Amino acid sequence: VLPPSTGKIDFHNVTARYTEAGPPILSDLTLSIRPGTRIAVVGRTGSGKSTLALSLLRFTQLSKGTITIDDISIQDIGLETLRRDLVTMIPQDAILFEGSIRENLDPFSSHSDAELQSALDACSNISTSPSAATNQLLRLGTAIHPHGANLSHGQRQILSLARALVRPSRIMLLDESTASVDSATEARMQVIMGEQFRGRTVVAICHRLRGVVGGFFDQVLVLGNGEVKE
Ligand code: ATP
Ligand code: MG
């Protein structure tokens, strides 16, 4: 069950910095995302794509402007509500820790084994040959080494997707969440996201245009120097 939010996002003339004395990373950025749309964010290295995502989670300081979700300023939304209930982020570097896959998927034990297993099942058979290694791995009891060291980058991203599937938030932020998998696997991850994220707002940072073609996205946002270029 999704929380009572439509997933509408607006940036109004936002200037954002990481520190008060630091340089502006987003400059006077205005952007409107309709509920339930899927936006690809592209732009060169350092153009501010990750910063845009982090700003929605209040990891930056706004020296100007406001960011709203469903027309409510995120400054007026509690951090826990914002980061746990409203928005789910798959970060650029998947955060995995030592423990079982079950613990990594659901650190606060708020889901049943059946729910977690069905998220893993949705992600199994995801990678193309040789897929056996990945499928063997996607079990609740599988041990993960610190920082996910025993997994490939692509396997970490598949696990991050499984983790996102159990989160019922209206807004999904994906930071290059398919960058480390081959193109067939990426296409299948997008099919799963298309099914599982139906009706949710998806903001996906795509470093390579490869992930943008294929009809998954409704709109493409081009960032340059912290500004909307297109
Ligand atoms: P990439 O495609 O390489 O992931 P990006 O578009 O996501 O790049 P950002 O990570 O948003 O780029 O970085 C934009 C600018 O913000 C860069 O100049 C970077 O140095 C700066 N920056 C990023 N993270 C921080 C931070 N935690 N503290 C200070 N500056 C930062
Ligand atoms: Mg980035």
Which of 76, 71, 18, 20 lies closest to 48 in space, CA to CA?
18
Residue among 19, 41, 49 whose CB has most ligand 1 atoms within 8 A, to mutate: 49
pLDDT in 10s for each residue of the chain, 230 residues: 555 689 999 999 999 999 999 999 999 999 999 999 999 999 999 999 999 999 999 999 999 999 999 999 999 999 999 998 899 998 888 889 999 999 999 988 999 999 999 998 888 766 655 566 677 777 899 999 999 999 888 888 889 999 999 988 999 999 988 888 888 888 888 888 888 899 999 999 987 776 677 778 999 999 999 999 99
Asked if 147 and 96 touch (Cβ cutoff 8 Å), the reply is: yes
Which atom of ligand 1 has the smallest separation from the CA of 207? 2
Which of 61, 182, 199, 169 lies closest to 129 in space, CA to CA?
182
Atom 31, ligand 1: which residue's CA is nearest?
A: 18
Which atom of ligand 1 has the smallest separation from the CA of 51? 11
Asked if 38 and 172 touch (Cβ cutoff 8 Å), the reply is: no
pTM, entire model:
0.89
Asked if 126 and 193 touch (Cβ cutoff 8 Å), the reply is: no
Cα radius of gyration (the chain): 17
Asked if 216 and 188 touch (Cβ cutoff 8 Å), the reply is: no
Q: Which residues of 162-176 are buried (b: 16+ CB within 10 A; e: fewer)?
A: bbbbbbebbbbbbbb
Atom 18, ligand 1: which residue's CA is nearest?
A: 46
SS3 177: coil
Atom 26, ligand 1: which residue's CA is nearest?
A: 18
